[in-house]
C-alpha cells in the first residue's frame, strides 16, 4: 500500500475552494501530500486550508486566477518562494455556462476556454518547470470530452481540448519523468452543476442512463486522483480515467 502514499510530496490543486477541488485537496492530504490550495477566492481557500491543518495536514492557501498567463506566472513565482519543488499539479479550476450555441458570443467562449483549457496548459507548463525530479499532472476532464452535450459547446470544446493537451504533454514530458493523466467525472452534483439538478425531469432521465443507478459522490473521485498522482500508477501516462458509474460504457 506504500505505493499509494504521497508522503513527502508537494501538490498544488487549482479551484480548491469548493466542490471537486476541495475534495481532491483533502484526498491528497489524507494520502500524505503537503497541499497548496489555489483559486481566486482567497477567503474561501483560507477556510479550506485551515480545515486541513486542523485535521493534522499541511496546507497553504494560494491566490490564483488561471484565466491569464500573467496571473499564473505570478502565482508560481510566489509558490517558488514557499517550496523549491512541486511534485503534483491537479488542474481542477473550471467554469461552465449553459447557453444555446446560437447565443454564444466571443466573451462567453473566451471566458470558458481561457479558464478550462488555456489556464490548464499554462499551469501545467509552470508546474513542469518546478518538477525537477519528475512529477504527476492530473487534468480534470469531463464526459463532454467524449460526447456532445447540447448547450455546452464551449465547455465541451475546452474539455475535449484538455484531453489533447493531456496526451501531447504526456508524450513530450515523459523523458522528464513527468506523467500527465486525466480523470473525467461523470454526473456529480456541485455548485457549478446545480442548475442541471434543479430540473427534476432532467435528473430522472439522466439517472436512468447510469448503470450504477446513482449520481457520483465527491469521495468517489478520491481514489482515482490519489492513484494517478502516486507511484502506484508509475507506468501510466496520457490516459483519462472516467469516473462515471458506467455512463460512457453503456451509451
Query: Which residues are catalytic, by number?
Result: 155
- CA distance linking residue 53 with residue 58, whole number of Å: 6
Amino acid at each position: 500500500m506504500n505505493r499509494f502514499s504521497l508522503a513527502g510530496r508537494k501538490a498544488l490543486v487549482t479551484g480548491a475552494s469548493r466542490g471537486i477541488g476541495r475534495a481532491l485537496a483533502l484526498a491528497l492530504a489524507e494520502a500524505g501530500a503537503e497541499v497548496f490550495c489555489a483559486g481566486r477566492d482567497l477567503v474561501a481557500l483560507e477556510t479550506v486550508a485551515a480545515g486541513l491543518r486542523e485535521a493534522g495536514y499541511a496546507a497553504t492557501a494560494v491566490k490564483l486566477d488561471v484565466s491569464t498567463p500573467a496571473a499564473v506566472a505570478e502565482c508560481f513565482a510566489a509558490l517558488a518562494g514557499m517550496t523549491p519543488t512541486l511534485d503534483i499539479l491537479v488542474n481542477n479550476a473550471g467554469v461552465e455556462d449553459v447557453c444555446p450555441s446560437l447565443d454564444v458570443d466571443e466573451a462567453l467562449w473566451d471566458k470558458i476556454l481561457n479558464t478550462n483549457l488555456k489556464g490548464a496548459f499554462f499551469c501545467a507548463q509552470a508546474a513542469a518547470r518546478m518538477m525537477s525530479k519528475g512529477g504527476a499532472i492530473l487534468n480534470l476532464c469531463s464526459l463532454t470530452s467524449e460526447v456532445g452535450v447540447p448547450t455546452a459547446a464551449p465547455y465541451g470544446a475546452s474539455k475535449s481540448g484538455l484531453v489533447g493537451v493531456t496526451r501531447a504533454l504526456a508524450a513530450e514530458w515523459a523523458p522528464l519523468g513527468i506523467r500527465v493523466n486525466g480523470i473525467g467525472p461523470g454526473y456529480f452534483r456541485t455548485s457549478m452543476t446545480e442548475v442541471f439538478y434543479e430540473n427534476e425531469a432532467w435528473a430522472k432521465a439522466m439517472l436512468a442512463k447510469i448503470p450504477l443507478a446513482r449520481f457520483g459522490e465527491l469521495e468517489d473521485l478520491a481514489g482515482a486522483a490519489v492513484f494517478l498522482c502516486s507511484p502506484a500508477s508509475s507506468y501510466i501516462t496520457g490516459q483519462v480515467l472516467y469516473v462515471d458509474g458506467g455512463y460512457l460504457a453503456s451509451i
